[in-house]
């Protein structure tokens, strides 16, 4: 990946904290009785993150708990473990699961038992919204108190601007998204300024001298481009140049197997939120009309939602997405919502 442009400037300070890990208690052993508490619906409230594991199961982090769907029925995995609101789920390279909660820290699940990691163990904050595994198998957590790096033994915490208020009003340390790019640099989307960390210092990401603020999602696509979505809309960075696709607020970005880019954003008519898709062919094609460059247009697949969260393309190429009313599924023709007894379309 090409070096970042000179418009990126160094933040005034970077602060890291290394803390030892206290012994973490095993909270709950998953019993066969609990595992067979099968229901015919998914969550009926906010569903934030959706992932598919190596066995094909769909995992949903929601305000009602973490649900697992095997294609036939749902199981609320955390029902007897925690009443916390869950925001993210990750299956690590070893096949174990991590669940991020807001208020109760992080839960580790090996298929049999749960362990809870909190600020008492060294986590930056107990309000955790994002989980990421880097190329070396290190687990990162985005929290309201900065980013936490866990190597399996202890936490190392990073605060983007060197300070942290007690009331969590320090936006630069409220981390929404973490990725490691192909060059090994880490990108952090925060409620303050997005920044890049090269292992030594944090640099604020800017375009024409203006930082990207309140970035909700950062991804790297198959071509190595970095995408940022948030308050400033949807942007792509190719290592040299930033390109803007929409100025509407963007909550989530996802690249499917065909290299199409899906987003959840404020609708084009500003009437609610939409699930939209930029087809691969349009992303790299410039259209000139009367000397003006016309931006590629996204196709709105689902409109007039109150809000849309995480997006997933399942193994069968269907699209799943989270809403304020649970999780929905799109098979290319019809939408199915799993928030009531049975399924509704």
- Residue 121 CA to residue 304 CA, distance in Å, equals 43
As a dihedral over the C-alpha atoms of residue 160, residue 161, residue 165, residue 166, rounded to 10 degrees, the angle is 30
Instruction: Dump pLDDT digits (tens) for 4-21.
Output: 443 443 343 344 444 444
- Residue 343 CA to residue 339 CA, distance in Å, equals 7
Structure token pair of residue 325: 């009313």
- Residue 212 CA to residue 1 CA, distance in Å, equals 20
Structure token pair of residue 38: 């099968």
- Residue 271 CA to residue 252 CA, distance in Å, equals 18
- Residue 72 CA to residue 199 CA, distance in Å, equals 45
Q: Is 120 helix (H, G, I), strand (E, B) or coil?
A: helix
Instruction: Dump pLDDT digits (tens) for 134-187.
Output: 999 999 999 999 999 999 999 999 988 765 444 444 677 899 999 999 999 999
Q: What are the beta bridge partners of residue 39?
A: 74
- Residue 173 CA to residue 232 CA, distance in Å, equals 19
Instruction: Say which range, 20-34, 36-50, 160-174, 192-206, has the weakest mean pLDDT.
Output: 20-34
The rounded percent of the chain whose pLDDT value lies above 70 is 81
Q: Please tell me the pTM assigned to this model.
A: 0.87
């Amino acid at each position: 990946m090409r070096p970042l442009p000179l418009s990126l400037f160094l933040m005034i300070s970077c602060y890291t904290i290394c803390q030892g890990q206290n012994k973490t208690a095993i909270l709950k052993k998953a019993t066969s009785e609990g595992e067979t508490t099968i229901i015919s619906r998914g969550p009926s409230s906010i569903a934030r993150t959706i992932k598919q594991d190596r066995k094909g199961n769909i995992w949903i982090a929601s305000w009602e708990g973490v649900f697992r769907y095997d294609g036939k029925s749902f199981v609320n995995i955390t029902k007897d473990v925690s009443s916390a609101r869950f925001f993210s789920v990750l299956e690590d390279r070893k096949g174990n699961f991590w669940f991020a909660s807001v208020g109760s820290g992080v839960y580790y699940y090996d298929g049999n038992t749960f362990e809870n990691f909190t600020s008492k163990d060294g986590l930056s904050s107990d309000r955790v919204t994002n989980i990421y595994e880097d190329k070396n198998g290190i687990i990162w957590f985005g929290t309201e108190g900065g980013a936490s790096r866990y190597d399996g033994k202890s936490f190392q915490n990073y605060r983007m601007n060197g300070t942290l208020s007690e009331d969590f009003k320090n936006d630069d340390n409220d981390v929404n998204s973490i990725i490691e790019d192909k060059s090994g640099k880490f990108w952090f989307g925060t409620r303050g300024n997005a920044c890049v960390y090269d292992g030594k210092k944090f640099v604020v990401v800017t375009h024409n001298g203006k930082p990207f603020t309140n970035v909700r999602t950062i991804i790297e696509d198959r071509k190595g481009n970095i995408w940022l979505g948030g308050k400033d809309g949807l942007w792509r960075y190719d290592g040299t140049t930033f390109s803007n696709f929409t100025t509407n607020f963007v909550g989530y970005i996802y690249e499917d197997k065909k290299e199409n880019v899906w987003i959840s954003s404020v609708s084009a008519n500003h009437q609610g939120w939409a699930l939209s898709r930029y087809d691969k062919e349009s992303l790299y094609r410039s259209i000139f009309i009367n000397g003006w460059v016309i931006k590629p247009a996204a196709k709105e697949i689902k409109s007039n939602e109150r809000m849309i969260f995480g997006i997933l393309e399942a193994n069968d190429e269907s699209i799943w997405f989270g809403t304020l009313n649970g999780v929905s599924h799109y098979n290319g023709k019809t939408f199915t919502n799993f928030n009531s007894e049975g399924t509704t379309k």
